[in-house]
Amino acid sequence: MNAALTPAQLLASLEWRYATKAFDTRKLPDATWAALEESLRLTPSSFGLQPWKFIVVNDPALRAKLRPVSWNQSQVTDASHLVVFARRTEMTEADVNEFFNQIVSDRKIDASVIEPYRQMMLGGVVKGKDAAAQKDWAARQLYIALGQLMGAAAALAVDTCALEGIDPAAYTEILGLKGTGYEVVVACAVGYRSTEDKYASLKKVRFPAARVISRV
């Protein structure tokens, strides 16, 4: 498959991206949003277990309720789309079996051939981690998805802002997730920057490569 972007184009899109503080109210084209949703679904995860749910909050009334528990950040209500990232509160053998059975079905292979992989998943996540460690593990997976969404959006000239300044417990309650096996960790606003956002013109500040990259 031919690369959609040249190296120069990729770097230009990442230079262009910034944490958008003010969005205008334009909506993303349906095809653009569908591609970004699919980028979330295609996110890699440890063992491939996908311990997450991505809640796309379209209801303006719900977004208005979420804004006060988001330090009143305008991105919550103004951006074209708001994605809330929720982790599994507990990983069980049933979760592993569901994914294992999908592998067998999608790849049309004998379950006995990959039974050692099922045992590896059980040992690595279900039996090998206590409740706190499972939650930490699941949260780390969510941040992989958050990064993938933001990178994919930049490649499509779509703006994003990761939102850690939220009350996860309040989000969990407002979105009706209590008791479902999922709880909110982080959110992301997606849309188009406002022409009045002063942060859009600021120089990106990063340490030089020699400071953060070593080669051995």
pLDDT value at position 1?
67
**Burial profile 84-115: b = 16 or more Cβ within 10 angstroms, e = fewer:** bbbbbbebeeebbeebbeeebeeeeeeeeeee
**Three-class SS of residue 188?**
strand
pLDDT value at position 39?
98
Identify the segments of the chain with pLDDT beneath 50.
Answer: none
Per-residue pLDDT reduced to its tens digit, 86-120: 999 999 999 999 999 999 999 999 999 999 999 99
pLDDT value at position 188?
99
pLDDT value at position 4?
79
CATH topology of domain 17-90+132-212: NADH Oxidase (3.40.109)
pLDDT value at position 3?
67
Measured CA distances, 103 to 94, 95, 99, 138, 176 (Å): 14, 13, 6, 20, 30
Angstrom distance (rounded) from CA 206 to CA 194: 24
Which string of DSSP letters, residue by residue, matches 49-97?
A: ---EEEEE---HHHHHHHGGGGTT-THHHHSSEEEEEEEES---HHHHH
